[in-house]
Amino acid sequence: MTECPACRRALEPADSVCSRCGAEVESLQKIDRAARDLLLRGSGLLRQRRSAEACAVFMRSYALRRSEKVAKGAAIALLCSGRFKEALRLRQKIS
């Protein structure tokens, strides 16, 4: 069962528009997938200790979907890059 990316209402497979909030489901799902792909790429870059590149990728993901997981990844990448003030600002934004 899928759910509306905007309001989390359960959707029927044929729903292209959410009956609760009117969101265009397919477009939002594409954005969600792009954000998730970027999150995975950022995590991979972080594991390879490529923290500056990971920061950029996490920020792109965060711009698409403001998830706590991405924000945490971005904060770690910022810390690993020595960008402490930006990491602190991000931490304050998400807590």
In the region spanning residues 20 to 49, those forming contacts with Zn ion, defined by CB under 5 A, are: 20-21, 23
Q: Could you give the angle at the alpha carbon of 25 between the alpha carbons of 21 and 28, nearest 5°?
A: 105
Say which residue the tokens 């990728």 belong to. 57
SS3 41: helix
Range in contact with Zn ion (rule: CB under 5 A) among 8-16, 31-39, 52-60, 76-84: 8-16
Range in contact with Zn ion (rule: CB under 5 A) among 19-27, 37-45, 68-76, 79-87: 19-27
Angle between helices 68-80 and 84-94 (to 10 degrees): 160
Range in contact with Zn ion (rule: CB under 5 A) among 10-18, 48-56, 70-78, 79-87: 10-18
Task: State yes or no: residue 6 binds Zn ion (CB under 5 A).
Answer: yes
In sequence order, the β-bridge partners of residue 10 are 3
User: By the criterion CB under 5 A, which residues form the site for Zn ion?
Assistant: 4, 6-7, 9, 18, 20-21, 23
